[in-house]
Amino acid sequence: MLKKERHAFIKREIDIHNKVLSSDLSGQLNVSEDTIRRDLQELEDAGLLTKVHGGAISKSIQFSLHENAVYSLPEKQSIAEKARSLIRDGMIVLLSGGTTIIELIRSLPPNLRATFITVSIPTALELLNHPSSEVIFVGNKLLKNAQMSVGAEVIQKLSEIKADLCFLGTNSIDVQEGLTDLEWEVIEVKKAMIKNSRKTISLSISKKLNTVQRLKICPINEVDILITELNPSDEMLKPYRDQQLTVL
Amino acid sequence: MLKKERHAFIKREIDIHNKVLSSDLSGQLNVSEDTIRRDLQELEDAGLLTKVHGGAISKSIQFSLHENAVYSLPEKQSIAEKARSLIRDGMIVLLSGGTTIIELIRSLPPNLRATFITVSIPTALELLNHPSSEVIFVGNKLLKNAQMSVGAEVIQKLSEIKADLCFLGTNSIDVQEGLTDLEWEVIEVKKAMIKNSRKTISLSISKKLNTVQRLKICPINEVDILITELNPSDEMLKPYRDQQLTVL
DNA sequence: AAAAATCATGCACAAATATGCAAAAAAAGT
DNA sequence: ACTTTTTTTGCATATTTGTGCATGATTTTT
């Protein structure tokens, strides 16, 4: 087997699997690992892959992940656009925390006169920039990571409210498991938010669809509306439509 | 599984959920938690996430409006230095809003374990960066300009507290008129803060000394300690010393 | 204040790597 | 055909890397 042939084989493997292991290749091609390493070195010099300890990985994968690690802003803006059309003058609206919610607030028309209630500090800060809406913060002990208030006091206060809409910047949503999250105290507050508003709207970028975390907020049928950046008729959303959710 | 693959997986999880737990990842990737910790360390070094106790969180979620230009920064830092020496472990401390207060918070030793209570959103946000203190936000309707909560509910809640210290980022202070401010609703809250703490400390850059505004918070003798960037024996501070204020 | 969880650190061991060298294979020149 | 030269390959060796475990320190929770 010629060197060129080996190189072609390796390139094909990278295309298919996005990675190769030196040990695998050594077996498949019947040459020593030293030779494979030299092959990988040459292919890397030619800019066709990235060598790592143990083998090599595709260059494209590497790059796409790097760029993707930034915040999915366009998706969130697209979600915000759809979400804001649900809010009308005079409504009482509960907002959770999260970057998607921040984008929603930024996209609100300045002359909208609604009352927003939140437990999230960053959300509150963003709401303060809105000229004509009223902002109410339900305070208590603040949770460091989540930057929101939690505890019995908050839940008590929320129970005195009957909101029209509740927007949740979702962490994880799944047809089987419903809405899930990581922290007990956060869960408790989100439950109360859902309970005390007429409609619950989950804002999820599609990457978060069909993901599950440790703790359950509510089953899927307690969510009234699901908003993603996808087209509502997208195949990926079918399971949710089948569960009677309105998908926007 | 290659190390880089694990890294890619972790990055994706962070991207989706803003947070990962070492224990989860250890299970999902079938490696020891030590390895996960080393992975997180490397990703942090690469600037892709922030490591925290138990796992890591997304960098994008780290709210840092840290660059908001603070005027008279050196003076305010000098004030912050003096003020922080008054706070001890276990104390309950009321904080108002304002950039001087923000500087005070930034200058706090990371291992200080105190309970901070505030009504100001920017103050709360800054406090959330402090690793070991507890933060309580007294919420209600938020005032847009002052970025703080106001109203009867707040005053009621404050009255249930007995704090050790109350730091006021002063707007105007004058020997004759005492502390004064511009907005009715703000005044009401500050009155309540003063009333419900053992000691009141006014933080004032010297430019604000001997200035008066429309509405009165309290007479000068209700302030226990006055902190400015000046030397305590400065001539300018003599009238305040004469009124039995402790000047630092 | 005690208990549990999480962390940093050093160590050991295995896997993977780089390097020099020599044998084998291929290419080139005579 | 037969050297001579160049390229390729495998092996031995020392080095580096990745991983898990033990330990004691730190942090969090109770």
Percent of chain A scoring above 70 in pLDDT: 95
A21 closest-nt by C1' vs CA: C16
pLDDT value of residue B15: 78
Q: Write out the H or E segment, with its range, that includes residue A191.
A: helix A184-195
Q: Is the pLDDT of residue B67 over 70?
A: no
Chain A residue numbers with beta carbons less than 8 Å from the beta carbon of B60 are 70-71, 99
**CA-to-CA separations, B72 to B27, B76, B77, B211, in angstroms, rounded:** 51, 6, 9, 17
Q: Does B162 touch chain A (CB under 8 A)?
A: no
How far apart CA A190 and CA A185 sit, in angstroms, is 9
Interface of A with B in 203-222 (CB under 8 A): 207-208, 211, 213-214
Residue A19 beta carbon within 7 A of nucleic strand C: no
Closest residue to B5, CB basis, from A19, A121, A140: A19
B34 CA to D22 C1', in Å?
12
How far apart CA A211 and CA A179 sit, in angstroms, is 9
B12 and A99 in contact by Cβ < 8 A? no
Average pLDDT of the residues in B127-132: 82
> Beta-carbon neighbour count of residue B108 at 10 Å?
21
How far apart CA B19 and CA A186 sit, in angstroms, is 14
From A218, A224, A153, select the one nearest A190 (Cα to Cα): A218
- For residue range B151-203, list pLDDT tens digits in order: 999 999 999 999 999 999 888 999 999 999 989 999 999 999 999 999 999 99
Q: In what order do the strands lie in the sheet with A172-174?
A: A172-174, A178-181, A215-218
Interface of A with B in 89-148 (CB under 8 A): 98-99, 121-122, 124-125, 127-128, 131, 134-142, 144-145, 147
How far apart CA B44 and CA A209 sit, in angstroms, is 27
Residue of A164 and B88 predicted with greater confidence: A164
Helix axis angle, B33-45 relative to B22-29, nearest 10°? 110
A25 CA to C22 C1', in Å?
25
Report the DSSP beta bridge partners of residue B116. B93, B135
DSSP code string of B156-184: HHHHT--EEEEEEE-SEEETTTEEEES-H
How does strand B55-57 pair with strand B50-52?
antiparallel
Report the DSSP beta bridge partners of residue B93. B116, B165
Interface of B with A in 42-71 (CB under 8 A): 48, 52, 57, 60-61, 63
Closest residue to A124, CB basis, from B15, B18, B142: B142
Closest residue to A122, CB basis, from B21, B48, B63: B63
B121 and A128 in contact by Cβ < 8 A? yes
DSSP code string of B63-81: ---TTSPPTTHHHHHHHHH
Min Cα–Cα distance to chain A from B8, Å: 7
pLDDT value of residue B89: 85
How far apart CA B230 and CA A206 sit, in angstroms, is 57
A35 closest-nt by C1' vs CA: D9
Min Cα–Cα distance to chain A from B180, Å: 24
Q: Is the pLDDT of residue B62 over 60?
A: no
Chain A residue numbers with beta carbons less than 8 Å from the beta carbon of B48 are 69
Predicted confidence band at B70 (pLDDT cuts at 50, 70, 90)? low
B137 and A140 in contact by Cβ < 8 A? yes
How far apart CA B192 and CA B170 sit, in angstroms, is 15
Q: What is chain A's mean pLDDT, rounded?
A: 90
Min Cα–Cα distance to chain B from A161, Å: 13
Q: Is the pLDDT of residue B63 over 80?
A: no
Ranges in chain A, pLDDT < 50 = 63-70
Closest residue to A57, CB basis, from B4, B52, B60: B4
- For residue range A45-87, list pLDDT tens digits in order: 888 899 999 999 988 655 444 444 446 778 888 999 999 999 9
How far apart CA B36 and CA B13 sit, in angstroms, is 13
Both tokens assigned to B187:
């005044």
Chain A residue numbers with beta carbons less than 8 Å from the beta carbon of B149 are 137, 139
Residues sharing a CB contact under 8 Å with residue A178, sequence separation 6 or more, in sequence order: A216, A217, A218, A219, A220, A221, A222, A223
How far apart CA B194 and CA B165 sit, in angstroms, is 9
Q: Is the pLDDT of residue B54 over 80?
A: yes
How does strand A141-143 pair with strand A148-150?
antiparallel
Q: Give the rounded distance of the alpha carbon of A187 from its chain centre.
A: 17
Q: Is the pTM of this model over 0.85?
A: no
